[in-house]
Each structure stands twice: as C-alpha cells, then as structure tokens.
Amino acid sequence: MTDKTDTPTMSAEEAAGRALVARKTFEKEAVWLPMLAVQHWNAGEMVVDGKTFTDCLIEGPAVMAVMTGTQFDSCHMGVAENPRTLLLKPVGEKIAGVVGMSNCRFVRCRFAQVGFTGTSEMLEGMERDLLSARKESAAEGARA
C-alpha cells in the first residue's frame, strides 16, 4: 500500500505554467513572450508550436525566431524609426537565446520590444512587408 504523501503535488505556479503550454489560442490579452518561452522549456518543448494569437499584445523584451509555418496577418510589428531595426540577422549556423515560434499565427497583434530573426528569406520578406506598411501608412497620413 502506498502512502498518499509519497505523491508529489504540483504547485499552483507549475499548474498555471502547464495550462499555458497546453493552450492553443490566445485572444485579446497581453502575452509576455519570455514567460511563454520559459513555460514551454520547463515542459520540455524548446519551441512554441501551433498557437494562434488574435488581437493580442505580444511583449518582450525578446527576440522571436520566426520558424516554419509562422504567419503574421495585419499585425503591428513594433515601433522603430527604421523598421529594419526590428530584424536581427543570425551570424552562425544556429540561433541561441531566442524564442522559437513554429506553426503559429498572429492576427491583428501588436508587438512591443520584440525583435525578429530567422532565415535570410524570412528576414528579406519581413523587411519588404515592414517597409511597404510604412510607405502605406505615410501615404494615408498625407491624404488625411
């Protein structure tokens, strides 16, 4: 017969972390990217995978590694005089110290204090999108 005291109990903090990792959707809330990453790492998942964020504020400070299948739809990527400032090009073969996001979707989200990194192709595409959005915004401001 086993004693019930032998069974380790989960702390409230650990239970909340596991619940965060299990969630697939986030809507109209602030998401602190470093905490999201740490909770996934504590659960043995080195990449945040398969989540959808809608109308959320994604907060850093953090660098997001944009991986396969991750999409941004009508998002505000951050404030910078030069949008290229938000993009960080990896120098080595691998990237360390970043929050990997794979197969995630961001819909109408705002990013605050988040930099972005990934493959050269991803960075070039994001640069085009950021510069294009900036030109469209300037043109709308001139018309108003």
Q: Helix 33-42 and helix 12-22: axis angle, to 10°? A: 100
pLDDT the model gives residue 90? 92
Neighbours of 26 (CB within 10 A): 20
What Rg value do the Cα atoms of the chain yield, rounded?
18
* pLDDT greater than 80 at residue 138: no
Rounded to whole angstroms, the Cα distance separating 46 from 43 reads 9
> Which of the pair, 110 or 140, is modelled with greater confidence?
110
* pLDDT greater than 80 at residue 109: yes
pLDDT the model gives residue 45? 95
Q: Is 77 in contact with 122 (CB distance < 8 Å)?
A: no
pLDDT digits (tens, 9 = 90+) for 15-72: 888 889 999 999 999 999 999 999 999 999 999 999 999 999 999 999 999 999 999 9
Q: What is the mean pLDDT of the chain?
A: 89
Tokens 């030069």 belong to 82
* pLDDT greater than 70 at residue 135: no
Half-sphere exposure of 62 (CA within 13 A, CB side): 21
Q: Is 63 in contact with 37 (CB distance < 8 Å)?
A: no
Q: What is the mean pLDDT of residues 84-95?
A: 91
Q: Which residues pair with 131 in a beta bridge?
A: none
Collapsed DSSP state (helix, strand, coil) of residue 83: helix
